[in-house]
Amino acid sequence: PMHDPRAFHGLGLEYAISNRGACHVNSYQMFVELGQAFYPEIGLEGPYEGMESMGKARIVAITQNLGSIFNSTNICSLLGISFSATDILNSLSYSTGFNYTLEDMMKIGERIWYLKRGINNLLGIKRQDDRLPEKILIPTTEGAAAGSVPDIELMLNEFYKIRNFDKEGRPKREKLEELGLGSLADKLYGK
């Protein structure tokens, strides 16, 4: 990981659950948690206490959906933090010719994120893989984050509930079907 999640617990959850490994720009968690980006239109008003684990799963899920939109439209993460969710929506609508709503846009991001997670599950990813390196779970003795470690189990349990995962770390069939990913559900669970 590039940044130490002992100072930003939500980033620790993002590192543990990210679809492409411990990546700080796969979602917008880091920018939201650092107070560099706010998206009140989609429920991210901030600021958020970095060294708090409770409630971070909701923020991570929303920023993952938003990050999926940024990544699929090739909007640079550093430039993107200056945009509002409405700016991103307008860019998406203008570039595609479709008149999307914020809800549509976030649903598209959610679908992209679940598709990637499901593919990772097909390739063998399970809950046991949603973890942080041991070193990150040892508190530092100095600096602003002294004594702080993310409560990864608390955040994973919250995240799994929010994302509608089974105990193995797979999105449940009904969630995949809701997103139009029934064929992925069939591959994960059988017909």
What does the alpha-carbon distance between residue 45 and residue 191 come to, in Å, rounded to a whole number? 41
Identify the helix (H) or strand (E) that includes residue 10: helix 9-17
Compute φ and ψ for 171, nearest 5 degrees: -60, 135
Whether the predicted pLDDT of 2 surpasses 80: no
Q: What is the pLDDT of residues 8-27, one digit of tens each?
A: 999 999 999 999 888 877 88
Q: What is the pLDDT of residues 86-135, one digit of tens each?
A: 999 999 999 999 999 999 999 999 999 999 999 999 999 999 999 999 99
What does the alpha-carbon distance between residue 177 and residue 186 come to, in Å, rounded to a whole number? 10
Check: pTM over 0.85? Answer yes or no. yes
For the chain, which residues make up each domain, given as ranges? 9-189
Sequence-ordered list of residues with C-beta below 8 angstroms from that of 88, at least 6 positions apart, any chain: 66, 69, 70, 75, 80, 105
- State the architecture of 9-189 in CATH terms: Orthogonal Bundle (1.10)
Q: What is the pLDDT of residues 66-89, one digit of tens each?
A: 999 988 888 887 777 889 999 999
